[in-house]
Amino acid sequence: MRYTLAIHGGAGTIIRAQMSNAQEEIYNAALLSALNVGEAILKKGGTSIDAVEHTVCVLENNPLFNAGRGAVFAHSGRHEMEASIMEGKNLRAGAIAGVRNVKNPISLARLVIDRSDYVFMCAEGAEEFAKQCGVEFEKDGYFFTDHRFAQLMEIRDSDKVMMDHSAEQKFGTVGAVALDVHGNLAAATSTGGLTNKRYGRLGDSSIIGSGTYANNSTCAISCTGYGEYFLRAVVAYDVSCLMEYKGLSLAEACYEVINKKLVKMGGEGGLIAADAKGNIDFAFNSEGMYRGKITSESTAPIISIYR
């Protein structure tokens, strides 16, 4: 049985002319390090849910990406993070939202599956659960970067929110999807949301069916984009539905949702997808998406940024 792993580090207006060779190398190295961690698990016969969790942890620990350590600032001046994870075998899922100071939100989402009867926890309640589970917390300084703070200061006195970057519109969510040698799919997604967000705003990354979905009968999906559109379009589950009820292939279903339905609504972004046959698909309607993949049949990982 083969294994597959795909990852993303966000999508948006990512143009080659605006990226230096040095910047490209930094992003490529970050994506490669995440792929290597996930593949090591799959190569040893590990589970897809372990692979996606630990792969996303690597991305959360890298300040390049808008998740975990690199999360953007909310209007409050704090970091409000969200994440979700799902396994395709039993349709078990865990999600957390509005959490602060949790080093790896995706691991907390995993614990919601393993140590509770719930699917979704948020804010102070999720943090209380994290402490009971012995989850690692970090002080505010761990999440502070000059770049992110400057983004907040630029718009804090306005009602605007900002995507991942002021000059380049990027949706800095991170995610992973995997198929293990046992034939099981899993998906995971994590984000810091929007700069200057207020009122406990949540995006699609913590919502099962919108930003994350996995079902052994169809596919595993992790999304990145303008969350409000992905929520309204129920993007991740919609791909699965097209496969289950209309018989579309993975690539056909992803194209239908991302390049037709979402575009018609005015939504921008993309997704990574894997199915039980070992296929991987990257679908995005933006200029670029940080992405990578590796399979048991690969001679080397494939990493891409631009369209």
CATH number assigned to the domain with residue range 4-306, chosen from the 4 options 3.40.50.970, 3.60.20.30, 3.40.50.1260, 2.60.40.10: 3.60.20.30
Model confidence band, residue 239 (pLDDT cutoffs 50, 70, 90) = very high
**88-133 per-position pLDDT tens digit:** 999 999 999 999 999 999 999 999 999 999 999 999 999 999 999 9
Q: Is the confidence at residue 175, as pLDDT, over 90?
A: yes
For the chain, give the mean pLDDT.
94
Clarify whether 295 is annotated catalytic: no
Model confidence band, residue 151 (pLDDT cutoffs 50, 70, 90) = confident
CA 263 – CA 256 distance, rounded (Å): 10
* Res 17: pLDDT: 85
* Res 147: pLDDT: 84
Query: Quick one: 1 exposed, middle or buried, by C-beta within 10 A (0-12, 13-18, 19+)?
Result: exposed
How much of the chain exceeds pLDDT 70, in percent? 96
CA 83 – CA 59 distance, rounded (Å): 13
Q: Is the confidence at residue 288, as pLDDT, over 60?
A: yes
Q: Give pairs for 129-132: CB < 8 Å, separation 24+.
A: 130/99, 130/102
* Res 162: pLDDT: 58
* Res 148: pLDDT: 87
Percentage helix, strand, coil for the chain under 3-state DSSP, each rounded to 5: 35, 25, 35
Query: Quick one: 136 exposed, middle or buried, by C-beta within 10 A (0-12, 13-18, 19+)?
Result: exposed
Q: Which two tokens stand for residue 68?
A: 């975990």
Q: Is the confidence at residue 165, as pLDDT, over 70?
A: no
Work out whether strand 93-99 and strand 120-122 pair parallel, antiparallel, or are unpaired. Answer: parallel
Helix, strand, or coil here: 91? coil
pTM: 0.95
Listed by start position, the domains of the chain span 4-306
**25-79 per-position pLDDT tens digit:** 999 999 999 999 999 999 999 999 999 999 999 999 999 999 999 999 999 999 9
| Annotated catalytic residue within 47, 55, 173, 189 | 173
Q: How distant is the alpha carbon of residue 61 from its chain centre?
A: 13
Q: Is the confidence at residue 173, as pLDDT, over 60?
A: yes
Strand spans (E) along the chain: 4-12, 81-87, 93-99, 120-122, 170-171, 174-179, 185-191, 212-214, 219-225, 269-275, 280-284, 288-295, 302-306
Smallest CA-to-CA distance from 161 within 65, 227, 211 is with 227
Quick check: 101 and 68 in contact, CB under 8 A?
Answer: no
